[in-house]
Amino acid sequence: MKRIALFLATNIAILVVLSIVLNIFGVDSLLQENGVDLNMQAVLIFAAVFGFGGAFISLGLSKFMAKRAMGVQIIERPSNSSEQWLVETVRRQAQAAGIGMPEVGVFNSPEPNAFATGANKNKALVAVSTGLLQNMTADEVEAVLGHEVAHVANGDMVTMALIQGVINTFVIAISRVIGHFVDRVILKNEQGYGLGYFATVIITEIFLAVLASVIVMWFSRQREFRADRGGADLAGREKMIAALRRLQERAHGEDMPGQLAAFGISGKGKSGIARLFMSHPPLEERIAALEQMR
């Protein structure tokens, strides 16, 4: 119920904020002065429906797509002691975190990595790579599992979907307002929408989406610090630090593909402006944050 209320409140807040922003910049008056009538309310509702709709459809399909994209083999009945330990560790941590037992799976990758996903924190998925199991100690794997369980318990998947929905709404609405302005005011097109409108919308959406991704990635980095703290609470701070140090040794490995990169535990370090587009903070910063944690 709280998540539904948050979703509705966020939608309403976005519509209000966008209306205020557009009024402050005098978009309505400018269009009226040029004899152009734009149904701003309809544009905002359209943007909110498609902006949040796309984000939540992606969230709803996240577990299914992750299984297919990464080739995750779900452990339904443990076939050996390693799988038994993996399932029992996740079960114990899930109980400690107050969430339902996630599905536990393994995907084939030489790089140490893991991710958690799912629309419902009581029906999530926690998956680890074969490389992680082969290159980390049991204590380090336990810490990584704690990090992923913390992601689920914190509701990070839903939170990121809400943030992406907010960003999508802004991008869709503003690009269409700019496109309408170019088509009607600059190109003086009075019937229907011409090529200028569609070209402007596409170019503006791409540009704004790139800028907006900086905001999304900032939130993603903050949730990584929080999940590290959660992993430290569930498995122990020293184990969590040891796991991150182990990942540092393999820092040149490849990220997971597409959107799944934001849900993995490692992430590659970057510098300069590329740092703004990182889904994960540098490992040295995450280790330092844990060392300062009381």
Q: What are the structural domains of the chain? A: 2-65+156-292 (no CATH), 68-153 (3.30.2010.10)
- What pLDDT was estimated at residue 3? 42
Q: Which long-range contacts (CB under 8 A, 24 or more apart) does 24-28 make?
A: 27/177, 27/181
Instruction: Tell me the percentage of the chain whose pLDDT exceeds 70.
Output: 79
Residues 6 or more apart from 93 whose CB is under 8 A from it? Answer: 145, 146, 149, 234, 235
Work out the pLDDT band at 93, boundaries 50, 70, 90: very high
User: Would you call 74 helix, strand, or coil by DSSP?
Assistant: strand
Which tokens belong to 171? 């991008």
Residues 6 or more apart from 44 whose CB is under 8 A from it? Answer: 14, 15, 18, 19, 169, 173
Catalytically annotated residues? 148
Q: Are residues 289 and 187 in contact, defined by beta-carbon separation less than 8 angstroms?
A: no
CA gyration radius for the chain? 22
Q: Would you tell me how many other CB atoms lie within 10 Å of the CB of residue 36?
A: 16
Q: Would you tell me how many other CB atoms lie within 10 Å of the CB of residue 271?
A: 8
- The CA-atom distances, in angstroms, between 118 and each of 15, 25, 58, 87, 186 are 28, 39, 10, 18, 46
Q: What strand order describes the sheet that includes 125-129? A: 73-74, 103-107, 125-129, 114-117
pLDDT tens column, 187-234:
887 777 788 888 998 999 899 988 988 999 999 999 999 999 999 999
Mean of all residue pLDDT scores within the chain: 83
Q: Are residues 137 and 160 in contact, defined by beta-carbon separation less than 8 angstroms?
A: no
Which tokens belong to 174? 């503003």
Residue 247 has pLDDT above 60, yes or no: yes
Highest mean pLDDT of the ranges 16-30, 167-181, 261-275: 167-181
pLDDT tens column, 99-154:
999 999 999 999 899 999 988 999 999 999 999 999 999 999 999 999 999 999 99
Which tokens belong to 190? 């009075």
pLDDT tens column, 77-87:
999 999 999 99
CA 241 vs. chain centroid, Å, equals 24
Report the sign of the C-alpha dihedral through residues 286, 287, 288, 292, in that order.
Answer: positive
Measured between alpha carbons, how far is 92 from 64 in angstroms, rounded to an integer? 24
Work out the pLDDT band at 274, boundaries 50, 70, 90: confident
- What pLDDT was estimated at residue 4? 44
Question: Buried b / exposed e across 100-126, counting CB within 10 Å, b at 16+?
Answer: eebbbbbbebebbbbbbbbbbbeebbb
Which tokens belong to 138? 């049991």
Backbone torsions φ then ψ of 127, nearest 5 degrees:
-130, 145
Look at 274 and 16; give whichever has higher pLDDT.
274
Measured between alpha carbons, how far is 258 from 183 in angstroms, rounded to an integer? 34
Q: Across residues 62-73, what is the average pLDDT?
A: 89
